[in-house]
Amino acid sequence: MSVAEHDTTDVDAPVPGPRERTVSAITGEGGQELSSRAGMGAKELLREVGAVLRMSESEAAALADIEADPDEDQTMIINMGPQHPSTHGVLRLMLELQGETVLRCKPIIGYLHTGMEKTGEQLTYMQGGTNVTRMDYLSPLNNELAFSLAVEKLLGIDGDIPERAVWMRMLLSELNRMSSHLLFLATNGMDIGAVSMMLYGWREREEVLRFFQKVTGLRMNHNFIRPGGLAADLPAGWRDDVLDILEMLPSRMEEYEILMNGQPIWRERLQGVGVITAREAMALGTSGPILRSTGVAWDLRKHMPYLRYDQVDFDVVVGAYGDAYDRFAIRLNEIRESMRIVYQILDRMPQGDFRVQNKKVTPPPRARIDESMEALIHHFKIFTEGFKVPEGEVYVGIESPRGEIGCYIVSDGSSNPYRMHMRAPSFVNIQAMPHMMRGGMVADAVAVISSVDPVLGEVDR
């Protein structure tokens, strides 16, 4: 069934599906076999009875001017956002309601569009990290990691990164996953109504941010993972700091589980809300906890390992029902899995260099700049002109707390990327929201948004 064969703009029109074409002549009952995925159209893949509101904003505004007939059972289009207290940033939703039931929904994004991809073309590869780290501002180190891995692949030095640098990257990435999921617990709690969870989640996050401040110098938006390795080595005493965090967390996680899972209101509000099937989730391209909540056990760290994830032991947390409760439980348990990984990293962190010693990419150590003219010039050239990256294009995808974050870079041989595109997980995951909200109540809309856990910085870039 090619695109030309039916009009995709009218989503409610009946469509001759592939099943009608494989009629079995023997039984006369119609085709019984399940058609292949390649032959299915968007409607079947999405069990779409019209979950997405495809109406431009000006049309919706024009509708508001029409006199509503009070007798008719009309649907109402309301606007949620872009400034609303559900703390997920500037997401705007146009909801079509019939009474309290959500029929269709259109997420309107772009309120945080920063032109980062255009800015990325103006900045050098060394500066690219500062740009990219502000996309998903809840897990900035993962953005930097995706970007750095892509640049290193283009440079051809991805095999030369020292072991210590790789393990340090893993440590920071997992701690970032923990802090992002703790923030998810906090905001999810607040959205559902357990407001004290907001304070607890932030309390734990502060501990992790304190460690980040000690290592990278900043609490957020670190620009620490750079092409070639990292910006600096771990400070003395880092092991004790990490152990403090790891020892403090488990008992508190127990408390949160009791606080949230133990109360029936929580379960009522999340179980069965925002259900999405595995086929829909894959058809929409979602990844991360959303895909795992539907039962598809796909985690890039396990199944397409990068860094040294194939050498550490951890489980992929998978849900069964595809609802908001599963997504909450997955993220809660992923914090525990990350803690497991961090324990192993603590034991196995190798000695060595924190960045590759490649004159092209690595600036000289600061002390040498005082002594040597070449070192000074070398430093100057790297930080102003930047290093040139050979022509080519590459895509690298890693597992961020929200799903697969990928970096697609096209290089033209100069010191700035020709095209830098980040595949943001939340951008794709937001497409799943109308399908999750359909048929639910307006009050569940907040729970759904919260369970998708979008970060508008990476949605809009």
Partner 1 sequence: MSDNGPAAETQEQLHGCPVIESRGQRVVLVPRGDYVKVMKALVADGFDMLVDLTGVDYLQMPDRNVGAGVVPERFEVVVNLLSISRRERLRVRVQVPGDEPTIATLFDVHPGSEAHERETFDMFGIVFEGHPDLTRILMPEDWQGHPLRKDYDPGRIPVQFKGANA
Partner 2 sequence: MGAVQQILDEGLAGIEHNFVTAKIEDLIKWARSRSSWGASFGLACCAIEMMGTGASHYDLSRFGMEVFRASPRQADIMIVAGRVSQKMAPVLRQVYDQMMEPKWVISMGVCASTGGMFNNYAIVQGVDQIVPVDVYAPGCPPTPETLIHAIETLHQLIEDGEIMRRRSENNGGAGVEIFEIPAGATTSVSIGPK
| Among candidate residues 400, 404, 403, 454, the one with its CA nearest the CA of residue 93 | 454
Measure the CA–CA gap between 124 and 385, rounded to whole angstroms. Answer: 7
Q: Which of 6, 47, 84, 388 binds partner 2 (CB under 8 A)?
A: 84
Choosing among partner 2, partner 1, none, which partner's interface includes residue 204 (Cβ < 5 to 8 Å by kind)?
A: none
Does 118 bind partner 2 (CB under 8 A)? Our answer is: yes
Binding region for partner 2 (CB under 8 A) out of 128-136, 239-247, 341-349, 369-377: 128-136
How many Cα atoms within 13 Å fall on the side-chain side of residue 275? 8
- Does residue 352 touch partner 2 according to CB under 8 A? no
By CB under 8 A, name the one of 82, 272, 295, 386 that touches partner 2.
82
Amino acid identity for residue 12 in this structure: D
Q: Which of residues 187-226 bind partner 2 (CB under 8 A)?
A: 198-199, 202-203, 205-206, 209, 219-221
Question: Would you count residue 279 as binding partner 2 (CB under 8 A)?
Answer: no
| Contact partners, residue 212, CB within 8 Å, separation at least 6 | 172, 175, 179, 218, 219, 220, 222
* Binding segment toward partner 2, per CB under 8 A, in 22-30, 115-123, 224-232, 351-359: 115-123
Name the residue among 259, 262, 332, 254 with its Cα closest to residue 293. 332
Q: Which is nearer to partner 1, 108 or 168 (CB)?
A: 108
Round to whole Å and give the CA distance between 395 and 31. 41
Residue 343: name its binding partner from partner 1, partner 2, none (Cβ under 5 to 8 Å by kind).
none
Q: Which does 38 bind (CB under 5 to 8 A by kind): partner 1, partner 2, none?
A: partner 1
Interacting residue with partner 2 among 21, 37, 113, 239 (CB under 8 A): 113
Q: Which residue type occupies 405?
A: I
Distance from CA of residue 327 to its chain's centroid? 13
Considering the complex, what minimum distance in angstroms separates the CB of residue 113 from partner 2? Answer: 5
Nearer to partner 2, 37 or 113 (CB): 113
Half-sphere exposure of 412 (CA within 13 A, CB side): 7
Does residue 420 sit in helix, strand or coil? strand
Measured from the CB atom, is 8 or 22 closer to partner 1?
A: 8
- The answer to whether 156 and 390 are in contact (CB under 8 A) is yes
**In one letter, which amino acid is 285?**
G
User: Residue 192 and residue 260: Cα distance in Å, rounded?
Assistant: 10
148 binds, among partner 2, partner 1, none (CB under 5 to 8 A by kind): none
Q: Segment 154-183, which members bind partner 2 (CB under 8 A)?
A: 183
For partner 2, which residue of 90, 102, 270, 405 counts as binding (CB under 8 A)?
A: 90
End-to-end CA distance of the chain: 35
Nearer to partner 2, 129 or 229 (CB): 129
* Only segment of 105-113, 257-265, 304-312, 364-372 that touches partner 2 (CB under 8 A): 105-113
Nearest-angstrom CA–CA distance, 70 and 312: 63
Structure tokens, 156: 């051809």
- Closest among 59, 62, 44, 38 to 8, alpha carbons compared: 44
Size of the site for partner 2 (CB under 8 A): 36
CB under 5 to 8 A by kind: which of partner 1, partner 2, none does 87 bind?
Answer: partner 2
User: Please, what is the minimum distance in Å from the beta carbon of residue 73 to partner 2?
Assistant: 30
Contact between 111 and partner 2 per CB under 8 A: yes
Return the amino acid letter for 300.
Answer: L
Least Å from the CB of residue 215 to partner 1: 26
* Smallest gap from residue 446 Cβ to partner 2 (A): 12
Sign of the CA dihedral running 190, 194, 199, 202? negative
CB of residue 324 to partner 1, shortest distance in Å: 20
Q: What angle do CA 150, 156, 161 make, to 5 degrees?
A: 80
Identify whether the C-beta of residue 346 lies closer than 8 Å to the C-beta of residue 224: no
Residue closest to 19 by CA, chosen among 46, 3, 1: 1
Residue 386 binding partner per list partner 2, partner 1, none, with a CB distance cut-off of 5 to 8 Å that depends on partner kind: partner 1
Q: Are 167 and 234 in contact (CB under 8 A)?
A: no
Nearest distance in Å: CB 197, partner 2: 11
Q: Which stretch binds partner 2 (CB under 8 A): 107-115, 273-281, 330-338, 437-445?
A: 107-115
Considering only CA atoms, which of 226, 449, 228 is closest in space to residue 327?
449
Residue ranges that bind partner 2, judged by CB under 8 A: 82-85, 87, 89-90, 110-116, 118-119, 122, 130-131, 134, 137-138, 183, 198-199, 202-203, 205-206, 209, 219-221, 456-457, 460
